[in-house]
A and B are shown apart, each in its own frame.
Chain A
Amino acid sequence: GAVVSQHPSRVICKSGTSVKIECRSLDFQATTMFWYRQFPKQSLMLMATSNEGSKATYEQGVEKDKFLINHASLTLSTLTVTSAHPEDSSFYICSAPPSGYNEQFFGPGTRLTVL
């Protein structure tokens, strides 16, 4: 099956700093990728849709200036959490739908801890 990777798997940063999370489709091209956030014991919440070559589409309530998304190539989307605060601490997961498959493939997730 298709593989989606994320880097880093976990990151700890100080409040006020920015953190970049990468999402890569390893063996397929993805014109669209999705970014989710998941707090402990809660479900996944869709944050935004990343579109290759164009601006991302953000869900209601998600600040586009705080969560910067760049989909610069058909295999890479990045999520940058700018000026991170402790309340941004969460599990961030990306996904991509390969053509010809009936499913989304999810990355392993990135655990962000903001001190």
Chain B
Amino acid sequence: LAKTTQPISMDSYEGQEVNITCSHNNIATNDYITWYQQFPSQGPRFIIQGYKTKVTNEVASLFIPADRKSSTLSLPRVSLSDTAVYYCLVGDRGGANNLFFGTGTRLTVIP
């Protein structure tokens, strides 16, 4: 499975847009990019998944360049409740294979 690299931590003020970039240089042709959010003492929760270009849902947007060696999770107008750890994973679309989590990015939203 492709290894992912993310910044360890980020701080942002409330109301700002936050962009978290993930590098996955060895992504395979069939791999999808999936982002999960984890609050303290809870299991991770799915945020968004994409293969190429741009994907948007009610929570976030995911930008994937043509070479797919990186991806950027964009959280619009963050609030204090968005403080969490965000994980970028690369693997099959259905999630039926085990998931190997990288370090994740600890986002702290400041009032």
A and B together in one complex: yes
Q: A46–B43 contact, CB under 8 A?
A: no
Interface string of A71-97 (1 = CB under 8 A from B): 000000000000000000001010101
Q: B77 at interface (Cβ–Cβ under 8 A)?
A: no
The interface size bin for chain B is 20 to 34
Interface string of B75-111 (1 = CB under 8 A from A): 0000000000001000001111011111110000000
Least distance between A3 CB and chain B CB atoms (Å) = 11
**Most interface-central of B34, B99, B100 (chain A CB within 10 A):** B99
* Surface stretch bound by A, among B11-19, B22-30, B44-52, B62-70: B44-52
B44 CB contacts on chain A under 8 angstroms: 44, 93, 95, 104, 106
Task: Give Cα distance in the complex from A109 to B98, angstroms.
Answer: 17
Q: Residue on B with the closest CB to A103?
A: B46
Q: B98–A101 contact, CB under 8 A?
A: no
Least distance between B6 CB and chain A CB atoms (Å) = 10
Q: B34–A103 contact, CB under 8 A?
A: yes
Q: A93-B43, A108-B42, A109-B41 are in contact. Are A103 and B95 (CB under 8 A)?
A: yes
Q: B102–A102 contact, CB under 8 A?
A: no
Main secondary structure of the interface of B (DSSP, over half): loop
B42 CB contacts on chain A under 8 angstroms: 108-109
Least distance between A54 CB and chain B CB atoms (Å) = 16
Chain A positions within 8 Å of B, measured between CB atoms, are 4, 32, 34, 36, 43-46, 49, 91, 93, 95, 97, 99, 101-109, 111
Chain B positions within 8 Å of A, measured between CB atoms, are 32, 34, 41-46, 49, 87, 93-96, 98-104
- 22 contacts across the A-B interface (CB closer than 8 A): A32-B96, A34-B98, A43-B101, A43-B103, A44-B87, A44-B101, A45-B101, A46-B98, A95-B43, A95-B44, A95-B99, A97-B95, A97-B96, A101-B94, A102-B32, A102-B34, A103-B34, A103-B49, A103-B95, A106-B44, A107-B43, A109-B41
